[in-house]
Structure 1
Amino acid sequence: MAAAEASAEASPWAAPPAPPKDRRALRAALRWTAAVAVFAAVGAGVAYGITVPERTDVPGLSTEGDGRWTFPKLSQPALPAGAPLPQGPDNKDGTHYAQLTGLLLPAPRGAGADDAVKADKDGAVPVDSFLEEYAPEAREKLKTSLEWDGLRQIVGRGWTMPDGTRTHVYLLRFHSSGFVDAFKGCDANAQLNGVSALDLDDVWSKAKGTQMNSTALDFPGAAYFDGTDLSVYQEMKPVTGEEQTKVGCLRTGDVLGMVIQSRKGEVAPVPFHQTVILQSQLLS
């Protein structure tokens, strides 16, 4: 990531245009809204019942100094002529026709490049390089799965923040959504390199659970947020080594998004959840 791009002066919260309002698109938007509500509760320490923001608004946050990063303005890449949106009524499988690298979340202001993500000049990541994120004993089985289960392309981006937080973001495009669901490399059982074991992210889960059960709940669509499209995990304590790792798994149509964040001591919840939500928004 070039320094100029990482330090771009722009609002970090500008959202891409809303897709057509068919029922499936509405359900996806509601799941995103619920995720935003969780982030608002975690990041700002406000009451858990909040009013739904517009998709172009700040995701429920106004408090400065809560640890959020500043990202460049988000925008989705142009579609090929005549291609439908991922959530369009004429796109039943949620296929992403846009250039995959254009859907990658850009690095935030102040970030430096992390060369551990071995992407070429076009953002493409070889399968073997991606599999370095996993324990050596898990790689062969995952490679076979990717070869047989419809993988088309992997793109990635990595950055490091001044506090030592390292973020790796990958997008895996498959031939259909069924292959995305079949891939077992992004769940609680994933064997990541140098990570003891994964469990549900306790901060995210607590905020989501409180939001779902709150009598003050005042945003629509909470019942649609079942965690199957966006799952968030953390390394169980005691961690292996000095760093903790957290993982976000985003399944949307034919694309699997994977956010891996590591930091000495503990991964801060706010920028991690922020990164996961914004990457999810770009894929919606």
Structure 2
Amino acid sequence: MTDSIAPAENPPSPAENPALAAAPALGRGSSAPATGIVLEDGPAPAAPADVWAAPGLAHGPFGPTETDEQRLRRIRRRRRTLVRRGAAALVLLIAGTASAYAVTAPDRTDIPGLATPKDGRYTFPVLALPPLPSGKPAPGAPGAELRHEADLRRLVLPAPEEAIGPAGGGSASHTAPPSATASAPGTAAASTAAAPAGPAPAQWAVCEDLAAELAEAQTLKSDLMANACRAGVVREWTAKDGTKTRIRLLRFGSREEASNVSNSLWLTSELKGVGKLELEKDAKGLPTTIGVGAQLRHNGDEKTGKPDTTRAGYLLAGDVLGLIVMTNPAGVPQPAFHQVVLLQSDLLA
């Protein structure tokens, strides 16, 4: 016979059994081990409120998560930040490019703070060598003597932009005699050829005109006759600062003949009405042109403060002899003088 426990007809109420009132409500099928009483289904208790949760955030297994609206706002803020940064970078790039163009486009002399102070140097046109007669070598060509076969008038340095006086020099009567041009090889061919584009040529001049500028003119005249000067040219101009420049070139039949007259000219270098000229000490640092000998002289005195009212440059380039004289009662600027000597030397090299 098996023992069984029949359910009570009238189960005790919580008031009658205090244990039932203290026991928590269990769901269907749950049992209380202490009493073995099965309870009916009941509403689940509400979860305690999370006081630390941010409003509008849902809680996931790893903490709070964003809502769709918050995520969209965050994406928009990030996009606006990227757009602002990109716009700022673009503005900086445009400003930098504009600044670089503003500095490199104009001439250096037009930019405040970068302009080179005026020191007396001139602005010359673009220099170009004249064409050579057909079949004649260039001066200083390999295996050739330093002879100048081109038109001698176009080997003279042109007048600068600062010139306000005559740029050709000489007069219509100062033309080379027919014998002088005919005896110089290639001279007639060069003079009859079509005139090249560029500055106007210098004027022909009589060789003895150079001797007229010296205090001992007779000595140089004798040397010019003995060494058969073939042709002479001259160009003169006056700059805005009052500096007068005169350039003379004489062509001979050979380098030896030009050298003989050059030695005489350098020894008797006293100009008429100027007095003795001293060698320029500062000319030691002046760059020299290969194949061209130069001697620079002046009449200033640093000890007494006397300005250089006259500066003279004596050139020898193969068969051509040159004399550059610059005068100014207020003083001839040394940079301008050195500039003229260098450029004229380059044309003869």
Match of 2:234 among 147, 156, 162: 156
Matched with 2:213 is 133
Alpha-carbon spacing, 1:117–1:143, altered in 2? closer, same or farther (3 Å): farther
- 1:194, CA displacement in angstroms? 1.2
TM-score, length-scaled by structure 2: 0.53
Q: 1:272 aligned to 2:337? A: yes
Matched with 2:281 is 202
Provide the C-alpha distance between the structure 1 equivalents of 2:308 and 2:337, rounded to a whole number of angstroms: 14
Match of 1:109 among 134, 143, 161: 161
CA RMSD of superposed structures (Å): 3.0
- 1:119, CA displacement in angstroms? 4.4
Whether contact under 8 Å (1:245, 1:262) holds in the other structure is yes
Q: 1:281 aligned to 2:346? A: yes
Provide the C-alpha distance between the structure 2 equivalents of 1:78 and 1:177, rounded to a whole number of angstroms: 21
TM-score, length-scaled by structure 1: 0.64
Provide the C-alpha distance between the structure 1 equivalents of 2:268 and 2:168, rounded to a whole number of angstroms: 23
Q: Which has the higher contact order (CA 8 A, sep 6+)?
A: 1
- 1:114, CA displacement in angstroms? 4.8
Whether contact under 8 Å (2:169, 2:236) holds in the other structure is yes
Matched with 1:123 is 203
Unaligned runs of 5+ in 1: 1-61, 212-221
Q: 1:235 aligned to 2:299? A: yes
Match of 2:322 among 257, 264, 267: 257
**Greater Rg by CA:** 2
Unaligned runs of 5+ in 2: 1-114, 176-201
Provide the C-alpha distance between the structure 2 equivalents of 1:166 and 1:275, rounded to a whole number of angstroms: 12
Q: 1:248 aligned to 2:326? A: no
Provide the C-alpha distance between the structure 2 equivalents of 1:146 and 1:134, rounded to a whole number of angstroms: 13
Matched with 1:147 is 225
- 1:67, CA displacement in angstroms? 2.2
Provide the C-alpha distance between the structure 1 equivalents of 2:279 and 2:267, rounded to a whole number of angstroms: 7
Provide the C-alpha distance between the structure 2 equivalents of 1:254 and 1:265, rounded to a whole number of angstroms: 35
Provide the C-alpha distance between the structure 2 equivalents of 1:104 and 1:168, rounded to a whole number of angstroms: 10
- 1:242, CA displacement in angstroms? 8.9
- 1:243, CA displacement in angstroms? 7.0
Secondary structure at 1:178 match in 2? helix
Letter in 2 for 1:179: E
Provide the C-alpha distance between the structure 1 equivalents of 2:242 and 2:230, rounded to a whole number of angstroms: 33
Provide the C-alpha distance between the structure 1 equivalents of 2:223 and 2:317, rounded to a whole number of angstroms: 19
Provide the C-alpha distance between the structure 2 equivalents of 1:108 and 1:115, rounded to a whole number of angstroms: 9
Matched with 1:66 is 119
Instruction: Map Cα deviations across residues 155-189 of structure 1 (whole Å, 9 max, x no partner).
Output: 01000011110100011101101111111454254
Alpha-carbon spacing, 1:256–1:155, altered in 2? closer, same or farther (3 Å): same
Provide the C-alpha distance between the structure 2 equivalents of 1:128 and 1:85, rounded to a whole number of angstroms: 28
Q: How does 1:23-34 map to 2 (within 5 A)?
A: none
Number of aligned residue pairs: give it. Answer: 204
Secondary structure at 2:230 match in 1? strand
Secondary structure at 1:187 match in 2? helix
Alpha-carbon spacing, 1:115–1:228, altered in 2? closer, same or farther (3 Å): closer
Whether contact under 8 Å (1:124, 1:154) holds in the other structure is yes
Letter in 2 for 1:271: A
Whether contact under 8 Å (2:168, 2:203) holds in the other structure is no
Whether contact under 8 Å (1:67, 1:270) holds in the other structure is yes
Q: 1:187 aligned to 2:240? A: no
